[in-house]
Amino acid sequence: MIWRKFSGELLKKSVVEEVEAAIIREREAGYKLKVCIGTDSQVRFGETEFATVIVFLREKRGGFMFISNEKTSQPYSIKERMLVEVAHSIEIAFELCDLFNRYDVDMEVHADINTNPQFKSNEALREAMGYILGMGYAFKAKPDAFASSCCADKMVN
């Protein structure tokens, strides 16, 4: 995966090295961090684009994020697409969780899935929640899943 900052600048090192450098830099500046990971997707012209974000929240001091986009022409049902979004988020959470444990940084995985049964995305809620919680991660769904429903949503072209 290719990762970039919100400014568009590509990360120069691996995402693990960049996240560790960010944690160290923020701690040295006196900030307590929380990280939220989420993915959103959009289907256009038979292509699905996924945007995964790693959102760093500084307690009472704003935040910043790293972003990765990926496109595929594979067709998905709404439920499949929601679960692929969750899989992208879990993949990066798993890659980074040792780092977060080492530096005592709280992490949540956010799913762009509506808790209201009237919405189609709700079909995937139970499986997504089980997948995330089963991995041992904190879970948030809409309307509390801002990393996926707001941050990642803005990064899908």
List pLDDT tens digits, range 84-121.
Answer: 999 999 999 999 999 999 999 999 999 988 888 888 88
Alpha helices, H only, the chain: 15-28, 78-102, 125-134, 146, 153-155
Sheet containing 63-72, strands listed edge to edge, beginning at the edge strand earlier in sequence: 4-5, 63-72, 47-58, 33-44, 106-114, 138-142
pLDDT tens by residue, 26-54: 999 999 999 999 999 999 999 999 999 99
H helix count then E strand count, the chain: 5, 6
DSSP of 60-90: TS-EEEEEEEEEE-----HHHHHHHHHHHHH
Residue 51: per-residue pLDDT: 97
Q: Let me know: does 139 contact 109? Beta carbons within 8 Å.
A: yes
All structural domains of the chain: 4-155 (3.30.420)
Q: What is the CA radius of gyration of the chain?
A: 15
**Residues 45-83 pLDDT 10s:** 999 999 999 999 998 899 999 999 999 999 999 999 999
Q: Report the candidate in 65, 81, 78, 88 with the shortest Cα–Cα distance to residue 147.
A: 65
Residue 54 makes CB contacts below 8 A (sequence gap 6+) with: 15, 19, 35, 37, 65, 66, 92, 96
pLDDT at 114: 86
Per-residue pLDDT at 157 exceeds 80: no
Q: What pTM, to 2 d.p., does this model score?
A: 0.93
Q: Do the Cβ atoms of 142 and 112 come closer than 8 Å?
A: yes
